[in-house]
Amino acid sequence: MSPRIPLLCSALLTGLCLGSAPVQAQEAARPNISAQIDQAFGDVLGNPANLQVGRRYASLQVEGGNFEGAIATLERLLLDPAADPSIRVELGMLYYRVASYAMAESYLTSALADPRVSGPLRRDAETLLNNVKRRNAPGGMLNGAVSIGLRGQSNPTAASSAGNLSYGGIRVPIPEQSRRKSDVDVFMSAAAAHEWDLETQNSAAIVSNGAVFANRYGNAEGYNADKVKTDPQDLVVLTATSGVRFKPSPLDLPDLTIRPYLGVSELLLSGNQYMAAAGGGLDLAYTLNGGATLLGMTYDIRRTVYADRADISESGAQSGYEQSVQLKAVQEVAPLNIVSANFTLRDHQADRSYFEYRSVEARVGYGLSYGNPVRWDERLWTSSVYGGPVLRYYQGADPVVDPATTRKDVEWRVGASQVVPMTDALSLLLGVDYTVSDSNLPNYCYDNIMVSSSLVLNF
């Protein structure tokens, strides 16, 4: 499934497909939308055979959130032999919007059988139909992506950028082997999501997600866990969640979904287990403005267990419960222009107070999709930027570092990415990322520049 499908449908429903002048998605339902709907309904009663009047009425119903009413209006318009075939595309998208995927497939299939449906509208209808067919397939819908790429980093081990380190509260020079060194790594990542529709009135579905990341540094020191390492360590990260997503009040709040879930994760460093976690959480998602605004919240609690390793001092003492609350918002400010914001509170408990911390993280992003600037095909390119701070407050002083100072970090991270589609399924992803951390202890002051390129295969 293409990640832009829900917002793409919103853009088409509020503008192109409903035959009115394009309506920017950032506009919330106008204060007088009810009066406009009433006026449009009167126009329909006065001129029931006028297709444009009917389509304007349907457009206003969509803007007001009455998707079922818009469906009824558009289906009445199809009784006219002169009805434009794009109405079937609109109906397919509306049925998709209300999770009636069998009807969505029927209307989209019949619309695409008409040669008059062409250009961007045909391409978008084909994309949505492919998604609908996967949802309707026996065994549920599976989609995801696999990528392989190359990264270069100026400081992958987060070595201190200060002129010295603190040991027992005394400033000492940075040992040669602990100084920053650049490195290059090859990485592979994969993510998949599966939905099994339970075919209930509250749109219940079993939703499962999984992801894996693995890399290999050019200067990795090997996989001997008994040796303290100063060069980068290869990573393997695995994570998965599964739970039932449903609408708790499909009639009164049809755009609200809830998913309680169970989750597990594991982290390996240099081929040996470093951390494992298990727990659960709750996802809430709510859409507004015909899908142009997405709001969400996730609460997660895990029991994390860190392995006792000879190459990492007191690693097992980091074990404990970790809780987080994340607030998310995505707004389509104009067709194919997306603004996102995330705010996360985290509380990590541990066996030692100097490993316990509370953090506040904020990030904003902007993504823009646009036509191929070199015009070798009609696929959309996507450029995005993001940035934000992380503030971490530890709960006790580490006597090995400085017994009189409790650690506080302020980390900033900014970046940009460019997606260049090569085929419908294969894309080139280019990225650049800069991280800088300022701490009241010199050991944790660092910066890092990362540049990456990868091929991404969507399925």
Mean pLDDT of 243-255: 93
Which of 440, 417, 352, 445 is CA-nearest to residue 147?
A: 417
* Mean pLDDT value across residues 248-262: 94
What integer pLDDT is reported at residue 71 of this predicted model?
Answer: 92
Q: Please, which pLDDT band fits residue 283 given cuts at 50, 70 and 90?
A: very high
* pLDDT value at residue 43: 80
Per-position b or e across 170-179, b if 16+ CB within 10 A of its CB: eeeebeeeee
* Radius of gyration from C-alpha coordinates of the chain: 26
| Predicted confidence (pLDDT) at residue 197 exceeds the cutoff of 90 | no
pLDDT value at 330 more than 60: yes
Element (H, E) at 290: none
pLDDT over 50 (residue 2): no
- pLDDT, one tens digit per residue, over 107-135 is 999 999 998 998 888 988 998 998 888 88
Q: In this model, does residue 22 exceed pLDDT 50?
A: no
Residue in this structure with the two tokens 């497939």, named with its chain if needed: 105
More confident call, 289 vs 260: 260
Question: Which pLDDT tens digit goes with each residue over 198-226?
Answer: 888 888 999 999 999 999 998 765 555 55
Whose CA is closest to 367, among 356, 377, 380? 380
Q: At 10, is the pLDDT very low, low, confident or very high (cuts 50, 70, 90)?
A: very low
Domains and CATH numbers, the chain: 5-136 (1.25.40.10), 142-458 (2.40.160.40)
Question: Which amino acid, one-letter code, is at 221?
Answer: E
Report which secondary-structure segment, H or E, holds 58: helix 51-63
**pLDDT at position 320, please?**
97
Return the pLDDT at 389.
Answer: 98
Decide: 285 and 201 in contact? Cβ < 8 Å.
no
Residue 227 has a pLDDT of 60
* Helix and strand counts by DSSP (H, E) for the chain: 7, 16
Higher pLDDT among residues 107 and 47, named by residue: 107
Q: Would you state the pLDDT for residue 223?
A: 58
pLDDT at 338 over 90: yes
Look at residue 59 in the predicted model and tell me its pLDDT.
Answer: 84
DSSP string for residues in 155-219: -TT----SSEEEETTEEEEPPGGGS---EEEEEEEEEEEEEEE---TT--EEEEEEEEEEEEETT
User: What's the Cα-to-Cα distance from 374 to each of 312, 380, 456, rounded to whole Å?
Assistant: 50, 11, 21
